[in-house]
Amino acid sequence: MAALFESSFATPLFFSSNANNNNSATSKSPSHDLRFHHTHTHTHSHTPSSSSPSLQPQPEPDSDSTRDRRRAVRVAWEKLVRWSRSWRSKNKTDVLERTKKVVVLGGGSFGTAMAAHVANRKAELEVNMLVRDPQVCFSINERHCNCKYFPDHWLPDNVVATTDAKSALLNADYCLHAVPVQFSASFLESVADYVDPSLPFISLSKGLELNTLRMMAQIIPQALRNPRQPFVALSGPSFALELMNKLPTAMVVASKDKKLANKVQQLLASSHLRISTSSDVTGVEIAGALKNVLAIAAGIVEGMNLGNNSMAALVSQGCSEIRWLATKMGAKPTTITGLSGTGDIMLTCFVNLSRNRTVGVRLGLGEKLEDILSSMNQVAEGVSTAGAVIALAQKYNVKMPVLTAVARIIDNELTPKKAVFELMSLPQVEEV
């Protein structure tokens, strides 16, 4: 729950309308009845006396102390709700009202999901998607769906696709950059002439450029030849499919420009998407990049069927390695334990929808990396990022055994089985 309170409320609190029903159903389920029953197989028949303690949870007596406790909980909750409503009314802005056009660079799954989300914020808002695939462009404009990634999801009527960079970027108020990291520099260089110097770029891309070790906060202004290009990083635990289905999601926007971060928060926050703000761009970006590599490791553990103990040990070790490197690079430790760090790590490492985890699972099952990648229609950024992570670890003199092992497996210099043996053979040291 801590991640939900990283910053002031930007959207209404999440309420579960069926929570009481679920609890009621659970309490009535036979599988939850912990009382002992005798059966005919018992050697000695025994009837529990009325004084015998029951193992089934008993309702609290309606005493004065119980009523006081419940009243205190209710009052605390009501204060929280009132504070939330008061904060929202005081901090309401006209950002959405003043925004006329948003451009999304890239026609992948996450870019499409964010385009649909922004378009749903205001029917009059023009949302242009700049895509390179003519077939995807046609399906978005004529069938109102992305035939490649979301063939069964209807896109709002105000989402329009184009392959023309000049028309897409013309008069845009905000730009959502959803091009994979490894292709971002060359793509941005090709459209730089059409980008307004004051156009805010909201990066959805997670990863590190392999040869230069650059993050998106460096790639975008350098590729556009404008060191002052407004920049925001959007990150956090968010699968595109669940965004498309409007399921409750929480993310964080990070920028050195606090006013810009607040504007983007107001633009994106909705009843099903919470947006926190941060000034720690390095922490948000490095956590978002490294979690993809750790997800490959988690997938390998799953594929090798090493068990839950191994999974917990590996992910916790990986979290420590990410924290060690990130803080050496200037990130705040609280960022690494927040939405863009621990939150995204948990989602990517433990859920089957994760592309990077899927790569790891198949590696753990013995498949070759080239066969895995050739069968995928989306980019698993962790594969490219792994090598960059090791270069950063050497640069900042940080030992990262788990993430280093992933890089060596990807380079085909170590088998998953050998990697497990080597990791388990490391010195027994004090936890830090």
- How far apart are alpha carbons 115 and 11 in whole angstroms? 19
- How far apart are alpha carbons 125 and 50 in whole angstroms? 69
- How far apart are alpha carbons 354 and 352 in whole angstroms? 5
Dihedral angle, C-alpha 255, 257, 258, 260, nearest 10 °? -90
Dihedral angle, C-alpha 2, 93, 203, 300, nearest 10 °? 20
Distance from the Cα of residue 19 to its chain's centroid = 25
Indicate the SS3 state at residue 206.
coil
Give yes or no for a contact between 350 and 308, defined as CB atoms under 8 angstroms apart: no
- How far apart are alpha carbons 164 and 141 in whole angstroms? 14
Angle formed by the axes of helices 258-268 and 109-121, nearest 10°: 80
Among the listed residues 291, 328, 332, 395, the single catalytic one is 291
- How far apart are alpha carbons 261 and 304 in whole angstroms? 42
Run of H or E residues at 254:
strand 249-254
Indicate if 328 belongs to the active site. Answer: no
Q: What angle do CA 340, 341, 344 make, to 5 degrees?
A: 70
Q: What DSSP character marks residue 341?
A: I
Which tokens hold the place of 34?
């912990």
Pinpoint the alpha helices (H) of 91-215. Answer: 95-98, 109-121, 134-138, 165-169, 181-191
Indicate the SS3 state at residue 17.
coil
Q: Which residue has the tokens 């023009």?
A: 126
Indicate the SS3 state at residue 322.
helix
CB neighbour list of residue 117: distance below 8 Å, 6 or more residues apart: 243, 268, 270, 273
Which residues are tagged catalytic? 291
